[in-house]
Structure 1
Amino acid sequence: MSKKNNKFQKRLEAMTDDKGIVQHSDLHVPNPKYDYSIDDQARALIIKTRTDPSNKILNLYLDYLIDAKRNDGWFNNYKTEHGKWEARNGKQEDSGDLQDCYGRTIWALAELLGKDCLGSSKQKKVRTLFFDSLEMTENLQFPMSKALASIGLSKYLAKSKNDSVKSANLQLVCQLQADYHKHSDKDWKGFSTEYTYCGPRLAQAMILAGQSLTRPDLTEIGKQSLHFLIKHTIPNKFFRAIGNKGWFQKGSVPSLLHEQSIEAGVMAEACVDAGLDKQAQIAFSWFHGNNSINHDMRSQHNSIYDAITETGVNKNQGAESIISYLMACSKMQ
């Protein structure tokens, strides 16, 4: 880990209290009134697993995931500043809202199991949680949820052989393969009629599945999807994220309104896994000022600004933004 990246790691830890990493900030000040999200804990766990597995804060993120497991097999997402699980409307979340959370949680657990950095008792607990949760892959309905879970299963298979994991992963990516063939044509390479939040994850999932399952046809789909996204987001020498106000609809052009920081990190990660080092560097350099407004997205507080908006930079510096930067850093190195 470079000294510069270590500053961002310290910032990540500073945004973490006894419940987990705080989801949102007012400018650079974390505000627990906005609740905690399992998505942030899972991604923070991935970062620490890759870069600093002996850090005790890893167990804090892990405990959030363990405590989030529900009787119906899903994982709760939001925890209030008072430590209670609830949705934004004050009620327990519906399973349809928790599928992406499930995918990220499975991914984080898979990476952690591959590192073997826990004590035997905790390692056994994580392994049990991972395999007890595996059957829920059959209930995933959305391409992104399937992709996130598949990335985790591919990570697991890269380190260990297991027929149950292989079968679950194959089921997920075959569904994604069918979605791709259903919606793609000569002018559109996608798994539905739109690309929205973190679109390159879909391509990344297919690329990693192709490698872990020895299925070149899946890898090819992933590369086709990724090259399509690169064509529309790196037309010149800088990355322009698909804006979250309108996204990218089939038959149209990508929205240019409101570029979220996470999009640059996800694109960089996907390009690394595809062996596209030049494009990965371009996407990653978005954080350093090689973007549509030539603005460094790293703040003086060793955090990351949330977005480029129609009026300039969104100066809030939430968990997702610094996490996306550090996840990309862990791949770029």
Structure 2
Amino acid sequence: MSPLPVSFKHVRRLTDDTGLLEHALGFIPRRKEGYSTDDQARALWACLEWLDYAEGAEADMLCELIDTYLSFLQWVQRDDGHFHNNIAYDRTPEDETPSDDCLGRCLWASALAMVKLRDRDRTMAAIDLFEKALPRIDGMRYPRGWAYALAAVALSIRHGDPWRLTPVLETLAGRLTDLYRRHAKADWLWYEPVLSYSNGVMPWGLLCAYEATKREEWLAVAKESLDFLIRLSVNEKMHVRPIGNRGWCTPGRRALWDQQPIDVMKLALAVSKAYGVTGDPKYADMARRCRGWYYGDNDAAVPMVDAEEGACCDGIGERGANRNKGAESTLSFLLTEVLWARMKGQ
């Protein structure tokens, strides 16, 4: 096995003995911004995916990071199974309303850890996180949280837990498809009246559900909505143009700027899964374009990544790239890279 084709130097720089720091000035960690549980779940996810390609010292390094992120998730999981998301640098929880997105991400990361980890103690920790969080799914109200939880449950079903979790999967997939039927029109094939952030996660969740059950209705909705998202996510050069955070997208207008790496990663996540499910080469081509966005095939025509550091700029605005390189953007790059590596290996 060859050395990892990506660097975890910046991830290691951002990680201390508590967890992964959320923000950076340039690539220097901004400790006063503290930690986000969202980022610990993303980091756990990225390390688990790249662990398949690592050996020796690199595998040991990834396992050390995995231990840190698992420990963080155990620490912030409340007695009721939910996860506190925002933690100050002095390790005190900040005031917040519980986040469905955070719960869903933690469910997905812990489910992936249950499947991928072979060490008994690490697996036991992942199972404990997942089982405590599972009862909280019923109270989730927002579609991105549903989608993450749906992917987590589908993965668990595919790896040996169908009877207990199939009703949960059917409920979550039903919520997403009902939402789609409520809002979709001939010229707006989407789950909500606005295209906002992390859009690709919703078709991805349904594709995961289809993969576990072969329910054709879920595949049809996933493909129809994903194809619509793809049409709105490229520019005139056919480079990826994610929905800008400064105003989002409605049938009447579309924000161009404050493009976020995480939105590109979520599109890559959806099209990679769609390619794996359908074999349609248009989805593989779109995954290639998502990867290209990080290397300069974007509206600013600038590379977003520092490959030697394994770091990614935080976004694109009118003046070009935001040179700060925080956790979310860096992990989005690393996850897009591993999605591409897996597609090339299929």
Normalised by the size of structure 2, how large is the TM-score?
0.89
CA distance, structure 2, for counterparts of residue 284 and residue 230 of structure 1: 14
Which structure 2 residues correspond to residues 218-257 of structure 1 after superposition, within 5 A? 218-236=218-236, 237-249=238-250, 251-257=251-257
Contact between 1:207 and 1:220, CA under 8 Å: does it hold in 2? no
Q: How far off its partner does 1:133 sit?
A: 1.6
* Structure-2 residue corresponding to 1:113: 114
252-261 or 289-298, larger mean C-alpha shift: 252-261
Aligned to 2:232, the other structure's residue is in SS state helix
Maintained 8 Å contact 1:134/1:168: no
- CA separation in 1, counterparts of 2:261 and 2:3? 22
Count of aligned pairs: 323
- One-letter code of the match for 2:264? A
Find out whether 1:258 has 2:258 as its counterpart: yes
Q: Which residues of 2 match residues 149-298 of structure 1 at below 5 A?
A: 149-236=149-236, 237-249=238-250, 251-275=251-275, 276-298=283-305
| RMSD (Å) for aligned C-alpha atoms | 1.7
Partner of 1:25: 24
Query: Which ranges in structure 2 are unaligned for 5 or more consecutive residues?
Result: 52-58, 276-282, 342-346
- Local SS of the residue matching 1:313: strand
CA–CA distance in structure 2, aligned partners of residues 202 and 313 of structure 1: 27
Determine the C-alpha separation between the residues in 2 that align with 1:256 and 1:3. 38
Find the aligned partners of 2:137 and 2:195 in 1 and give their Cα distance. Answer: 22
Residue number in structure 2 paired with 1:39: 38
User: In structure 2, how many angstroms separate the alpha carbons of the residues matched to 1:183 and 1:69?
Assistant: 34
Deviation string for 1:76-135 (max 9, x for gaps)? Answer: 11111111222xxxx3x223xx2110000000000000013232x442342133123211
Q: 1: distance between equivalents of 2:85 and 2:168?
A: 23
Matched with 1:14 is 13
Of 79, 85, 88, 1:77 maps to 85
Kept in 2, the 8 Å contact 1:143–1:202? The answer is: yes
Secondary structure of the equivalent of 2:253? coil
Give distance in 1, aligned partners of 2:125 and 2:315. Answer: 38
8 Å CA contact retained: 1:208, 1:219 = no
The code of the aligned residue for 1:13 comes to R
SS at match of 1:43: helix
Tell me if the contact between 2:6 and 2:310 (Cα under 8 Å) persists in the aligned partners.
no
- Kindly indicate whether the alpha-carbon contact (under 8 Å) linking 2:81 and 2:134 is maintained by their aligned counterparts in 1: no
Residues of 2 paired with 1:116 and 1:241: CA distance? 33
CA distance in 1, matches of 2:268, 2:129: 30
Q: Does the CA contact (< 8 Å) of 1:232 and 1:254 recur in 2?
A: no
CA contact under 8 A between 2:73 and 2:129: conserved in structure 1? no
Partner SS, residue 308 of structure 1: strand
- Distance (whole Å) between structure 2 residues aligned to residue 2 and residue 306 of structure 1: 29
Closer/same/farther in 2, CA of residues 231 and 210 from structure 1, 3 Å limit: same
Counterpart of 1:94 in structure 2: which amino acid?
T
TM (norm. structure 1) is: 0.92
Relative to 1, partners in 2 of residues 1:2 and 1:84: Cα closer, same or farther, differing over 3 Å? farther
Partner of 2:55: none
Q: Tell me the residue number matched to 1:94.
A: 97
**1:41 maps to amino acid:** Q
CA distance in 2, matches of 1:306, 1:320: 8
The percent of aligned pairs where both chains have the same amino acid is 27
Q: Structure 1 pair 2/30, CA: closer, same or farther in 2 (3 Å)?
A: farther
Question: Hey, what does 1:66 align to over in structure 2?
Answer: 74
Distance in 1 of aligned mates of 2:273 and 2:87: 33
- The answer as to whether partners of 1:265 and 1:283 remain within 8 angstroms in 2 is yes
Counterparts of 1:80 and 1:12, CA distance in 2: 19
Alignment match of 2:316 (pick from 296, 308, 315): 308
* Residues 70 and 125, structure 2, Cα contact 8 Å, conserved in 1: no
The answer on whether the counterparts of 1:134 and 1:165 sit within 8 Å (CA) in structure 2 is: no
Q: Deviations over 1:213-252 (max 9, x none)?
A: 2212101111111100111112542000100011112x22
Partner Cα distance (2:4, 2:135) in 1: 41
Structure 1 residue 149, shift from structure 2 partner: 1.2
SS in 2 for 1:321: helix
| Amino acid of the structure 2 residue aligned with 1:32 | R
